[in-house]
Amino acid sequence: MYGRWLARTGGAPLSYRSFVSERQAPPASGLLYGLYKNRLRRALADAPIPRHVAMIIDGNRRWARLRELETAAHGHRAGAAKYREFLVWCDDLGISVTTLYLLSTDNLTGRTSEELAGLFDIIGDLAEDLSNFRNWRIQHVGSLDALPEKLRNQLKAAEKRTENNKGLHVNLAVGYGGRREIADAMRSIVQTHESEGGTLDALAEILTPELIGEHLYTSGQPDPDLVIRTSGEQRISDFMIWQSAHSEFYFVEALGPDLREVDFLRAIRDFGRRQRRFGQ
């Protein structure tokens, strides 16, 4: 299907919005696929469902290279469109909170300026699209410091537009790093304590994991019950390293844009079968 888009656009990647529009009416997935998907859904009817699912859509650049596409932007757009599908799957299943790992602090220093410029545009379009879709509430988690003004404004606008929505809570992790988040939380705690006239000794007495959690980007939210990563890589890449202390992890071999709903349902099924002991 992507080949038809490239032929129609002379090899230039479609905009994110055009990409999503093209995917609204996908070709039939096949009778057996549909039957299997329905069977998985039925199996989840009485199974425990995670409240918070965090997702790392990985493998976008490899996906583009395997298809001999000119730039990584083709893969990033396909990955962004997959994130939207993923959120629909979560919403339809009754999941309350999701976190999407879109751009890390390491990406900001490790990617070329050309690739980053494309990513900024794609993420901005995604944020705007999601903030106008269903009754979802959008929240940026991460640092705005290294992001261009246009993207900062798009993320803030998405938050403002959806601040009163009561549906699926969608965290967009952009300019995000787990170690940076913990450092920011500690800095916030120290600054608040100092502004209230507290001493260093007093701070040492009140410093607890619960206090640190209150100053994280995701303050007030449940920690992720399940973290999913595509492309077969089995690492967390500085993603929610504090919040995922007790999370279940599920790794999918498919590259990000190739993730299917049955892959997602299998992850949820696997989560429901695990015994979460929390040290007991």
Token duo for residue 225: 């019950």
Type of residue numbered 70: E
Per-residue confidence (pLDDT) for residue 15, from 0 to 100? 60
CB atoms within 10 A of CB 7: 9
Class of domain 49-273 as given by CATH = alpha beta
From 60, 91, 107, 171, the catalytic residue: 107
What is the Cα–Cα distance from 57 to 78, expressed in whole angstroms? 10
Render pLDDT for 145-185 as a digit per residue (tens, 0 to 9): 999 999 999 999 999 999 999 999 999 999 999 999 999 99
* pLDDT for the residue 19: 55
| Token pair belonging to 221 | 């939210």
Q: How many CA atoms lie within 13 A of 177 on its CB side?
A: 15
Model confidence over 210-239: pLDDT tens digits? 999 999 999 999 999 999 999 999 999 999
Tell whether the model's pLDDT for residue 94 goes beyond 90. Answer: yes
In whole angstroms, what is the distance from residue 228 CA to residue 247 CA?
A: 10
- Burial of 260: CB neighbours in 10 Å, binned 0-12, 13-18, 19+: middle
Instruction: Give the integer Cα–Cα distance in Å for 22 and 206.
Output: 54
pLDDT band of residue 30 (cuts 50, 70, 90) is: confident
Look at 29 and 172; give whichever has higher pLDDT: 172
Q: For residue 23, how many C-alpha atoms fall within 13 Å in the half-sphere facing its CB?
A: 19
Give catalytic status of residue 129 as yes or no. no
Residue 29's pLDDT band, with cuts at 50, 70 and 90, is low
Which residue among 58, 91, 121, 223 is the active-site one? Answer: 58
Measured CA to CA, the distance from residue 227 to residue 247 in angstroms comes to 7
**58 catalytic per annotation:** yes
Residue extents of the structural domains in the chain: 49-273
